Structure formats: C-alpha cells, structure tokens
Structure 1
Amino acid sequence: MTDKYVMRVTAGSTYDLDKHVQVPINTAEPVKISSNLMDIELSVRVQGYKGLPPNSPTTSPYFDHEPHAYNKDQYSIAFRFTPKKEGHVSAKKEAAAAGSTRSSSSSTTSSDQDDDEEEVEGISALDLQFGNDFDHPIRDRLPPGFNTAMNIVKWWIDPGLDGDAYADVPHLYGPALSSFNAVHVGSGMHDEAKGGLWFEEGGDDEGLAKRKEIGAPEDAKQRMKWALKEDSKKRWVWEFGRTYGVDFFNPYIDFGEFSLRLPGFHLPIMKYWDGQGLRYVLRNRSTNQPYLVILFTLYLKEDVNEDGSLKPSALQATAIASGGGAKGKGEPIDLHHDEHFDEEKALDEARRKLSGVSVGDGNPFDNTNEDDVD
C-alpha cells in the first residue's frame, strides 16, 4: 500500500497551509521561516526518503555520524531559532487590549523578576512546548495497545509528554527543554559533511556559562531528566535575541515503511491512517501561539505532477472523514474486531530491551512525572 503514496513536508509559523513552504529533505541548506515572534532555520532529514521534491536524496550524511549511526535514527527535525522581544510584547499588549483573561506573563518575563514588565527577557521553559497535534479526532483510529505504547513512550522517549489523544482536538506536547535530544545555547554548526545544521548538547562560551549559572547539566540525557522538574523549568528562559539550536531525532518512526516501531510494539501506520498529516508544533503553552508548524503529509502518486507540483485533487488526500469518501483516506476499520493485542507480551519485550536504560525511575510503565526524577 505504501508504494501508492509520496510524502511532502511543509513548514510555516502558523497552521495555515497556504503560508507554508515546502521543506527540502536531506539537503544541507536549511529553510528560513520568520514571524514577528521568532526567526527559524529548519532542516529535516529522513532515512529512506521517497517523496517530494522530486529526486530528493534518500538519506543524509547526518545519519552516518554518532550518535545517529549507533541509534539507527530514522529521522531528524533540527532547527536554530531566535525569539523576538518586540513581537511578544506586542502580542501581550494586544491580548490585554482585547480583555484576555489568560495572562502570558509567565512566557515573557525574566525568571528573577516575574512581575516587572520592563524586565522582559524571553519565553519561560514552563511555556515553550514541542509535540504533535491534529485537527480532528483520532480516537476511533487508535490501534489496540495504544495506551501501552504511550506508557513505553513516556518511560523511554519523553517522560514529560502530556496531552489527550482521545480529545476532539488530539494533542501530545512536552516541554521543549526536556523533549529535544540536543539543546545548544548558541548558533551551533552548519557542516555539509554532517548534512547541514548540526547541534550538540552544550553551547558557545556564553551559552555554556548561562547553563552553568542555572545548574543545567552538560549531558543531554541528564539535562532532559533535570528539565522535568518544575524548578528547573522556572530557572530556564529562552532569551529574546539569543539563538538556540535544537535537534529532535529517534529510530522509532520509519517513514519509508510508514510504521511506528517501539520495543514490544509495532504499528503499521497506513492501516489506521485517516488522511491527516503528522504535525509537529513548537508552541507557547500560555498563549497557544505556534512558532513553528511542520507537517508530514502523504499524497497519492496520481495526484502529483511530474514536476512535483500537486494537482487540485491532491488536497483530498488530507481530507478527514467528516466529509466522507476522501481520496487517499485510510479504509474504514473496526478496532473491536481487529487483531488481538497481547499487552503482557509487549511489556515483557519492552522490559527486556530497555532494562537498565530508562530515563525515569521506579516502575517503567507507570506514568513518569517530575516526582519520579532524582
């Protein structure tokens, strides 16, 4: 079934697809996305890529370097970003003028002077989130064992992940500070030999000093664990005018086969797909404002012209069941009569493969929270 489709990745500073640009995959040159809130340079890498633009490289030198070669990472979303003070201050004034009851002060003030509006410094780590959301419900498409898979994800991949996959507007967000695999306080590197944008945990000289000042660990895994604590997020501010480099990567989503592979859990995505794209969002928790929206979308090959442009009918490929009969939408399924899911077997396999390497402590299949962190 997967050979009927091609993937296209777009990105923008809003959810409005008309304002998105197509993202070249596995190329060294990043895409620039700017708004009044943030300047961003974005690179997306995908192993075994078979999509648009036409003749895109199927891989990137990025995957040949450590830790990605050892991890067998399947994709990477890497970007450098610079938050802008003026846009945030203007947005706050507009919200106040409109009589907004939801304060954005926590997202635009110094960690030391929360009540002093003249000391606005950046976006609080309490507010900057990264994760996935969808336009329409997916609860009727969630496969057997989904809750077990989420427990595995929250134990091993992202203990800070939170949300509601069963909601009318499904979402799963985590604090950016604990979600990204690498956080670099500074501009990082652009190295064509490594596939373009390249960020390692740490920072430039000033960035390292800033990290040390607030007690942020130098090691990536320790920083992710440290960032689960409320006090840590209160101390970290993504400062206006300062550039940061972040990288999100893992071996669990295979875009070549359109499948999710976790220890003890394998999900053929196409079987449950309803036509919606996979969307990653960098957002502000307090204001609900998006900073960066990245959308991975599948299109039927017959809906794509030879030059890679989309035919008008291609829009149907991402339509959802509310209209019925959307071209490219997954087939109707009855999860009550789907294959049996052996939860105990899945948990045993996950325990065996991940024993001794968990991010959290205690029972690895309890929902990990900041109280579980050293």
Structure 2
Amino acid sequence: MSTVTFRGVTKRYGATVALDALDLDVGEGEFVSLLGPSGSGKSTTLNLLAGLLDADAGSIMIGDREVSQLPPEKRDIAMVFQNYALYPHLTVFENIAFPLEARKPRPDAANIRTRVEKVAATLGIGNLLARYPKEISGGQQQRVALGRAMVRDPKVFLLDEPLSNLDARLRIRMRRDLKALHQALGSTIVYVTHDQSEAMTLSTRVAVFNLGKLQQYAPPAAIYGRPVNAFVANFVGEQETNFLDGTPVAEGGTLAFATAFGVISLGRPPATVTGSGKLRLGARPEAITALPDPSAEARIILAELAGADLFLTVRGRDAAEVVVRADPRADALAAGDGVRLAFDPQRMHLFDAESGVAVSHGGGPFVD
C-alpha cells in the first residue's frame, strides 16, 4: 500500500475544465471516496490516477514516485471497473490468475495457484474457481473482479462504481463486505461513486466534487455535520436539505433567524456568524420535529411513508415548504393536519445566500 498525492492537477477538454487545479492527499491505508454528480470531476480524477488520461498541468505521486508521465502498467495500481470486465471464456481461477500469467517474468504455476487460492479464500469464492462468469451471480462476479486486482498486490486499488450494477439489497451487503475487506487488508483504496450512502459508510475520508472542483475533503461525519457550502449540504444525505430565506435577529443575547415558519432560535452568539450579506438557513429533515397543532398556520401537504420513516412536506407562510422526518409509529400525522415545527439549534446551518459558503454551524463558528 502507498500514499497518493495530487498537486495542482488540471484536465481540460477544449474550453471545458473537467478538473481544476486539484490538490488531494490520500494517506497510506485510507479508503477515500470521490463523490459527486455526473460531470463533477470524480471519474476524471480516477482516470488521471490510473494513467488512462493525461493531465494538462500538475503532478500525481504514488508514494514518493512521480507517475504523471508513466503508462498505466508502470504505476503499480489495480483497477476494478463498473462492469467488472471479466473474461467470459475463462474460469474464475483463470480470471483471477490472469494478471500473474501476463507478468514478465511469469511466476511458476505453483506460485500462481497458491496466490489465487489465497485471494479466493479471503473473498469467500474458493468454491467457485472452476466456474465461468455466466455461472455465478453479480455479487460473486464483483468478488472475482476484486480478486483479480488483489492478486497483483498493488500499491493502490482504484474502484470505479463497482456496486452500481447490483440490486439495492446486494449493494448494501457488498458495502459491508468491502468495508470488512479493507479493514482486513489495510490497503489504500480510491473509490469513485455518485451514491453518497456508499461514500459515507465505506470511507475514511470523502472528497466531494462539483463542476470540476473539489468542494470538501473530510471524514464522513464532518462532511455530513459541517458542510462547507450549500452544495455539499444538499448533495450529502438521504433527503435534500431544507433551505429557508430569512433575516438574522437577536433574541435574548443569542442569534435567531426569522423565517416563514417563525423565528428559529439558533442558540449561538451572533459573533459565530462569519462574513456579512443575505443568509439562508439549512436544516436537514431529521433536524426538524413536527408537533400536532390544529390551530397552527403551517399545514402538512404530503405524507410519504418510507419504511421506518415518515416524511412530511409542510407548507408555511408565503408558500415556503420544508420536509420533516417523523416516526410513523409515534406521530399520527397526515396530509391536511396543522403542525408546529421545532428546529434543533445544534443542527442548523447558515449559508451565504449568494456564494453558498457556510458561515455558521450549530455548536460554534465555522472552521475551514
């Protein structure tokens, strides 16, 4: 395993900047996810690291070695693709052994067999070695693709949306297996995904991209709890973040925010807000509680049951709306009901309305 370092790495396609002066450090043994929507720069970053694309500027290091000008086969990396790229005419054993068979000098047959069987046992596919890809499930094919990468013992593993072709339940199971595998191997892994739940559950740190720029690079808890801007706040999370326009006001020596749902106490000194200008409040659905109140102006206009959660769309003055997460077992709430909303001050975020940059988080001032 090894470290990975990007310094000022830029990639352009004509006038379009696919990646803009990226600085990124991946520590030895880290599991780092590159997260973002389509066209954000995450796949460009992975392909530059793999050597499948050439950078227009900047440098890429694997360990203490500059690799920007090296071909893929000289970088000592192994890549697992979205479609697994297994050879259909080769058995599972032969697919895993292929990188060793292609080496010069080629290891002896006994060495190859030992290494393939060890990797297959680690992945729990030792009983599948004689089968062909068409004879095994999608999850098993994904393990074979991982095995083919592992058998090379590379410095860095690159995984390009390897779970996207699996059904929802299998994806969850494979996430758990990938995390356990990383803990067992201690390998350096760079993982591309557009699925924020994958990134949050698997990663040591998450790099969030948008429009070719790195937005935030931090552990999952910091990405979720202290987003650096409105884009990160809205992109990360099972539900979209609620954004409310309003005006900061002083309330008993602490900061509050006047909105279409009333004055929301933020429980922090006014000095915790950095910068000036028009602000927006950001609140995730789980940071808001809906309390039954028939006389309240705010009304539920939509109730959506999602397993253990009930999501309520609540409309207030001036047609302002927020989504609230509720417990369907405890809250007998339905469309048309009046509700009073309670906002958790510790989970309220303030953003500059124009730039989207975070200026205050619950619990204290924003620290970059």
Aligning the two structures, in what range does the TM-score lie when normalised by the shorter sequence? under 0.3
TM, length-normalised to structure 1: 0.22
Identify the structure with the greater strand proportion.
2
Higher relative contact order (CA 8 A, sep 6+): 1
Q: Which has the larger radius of gyration?
A: 2
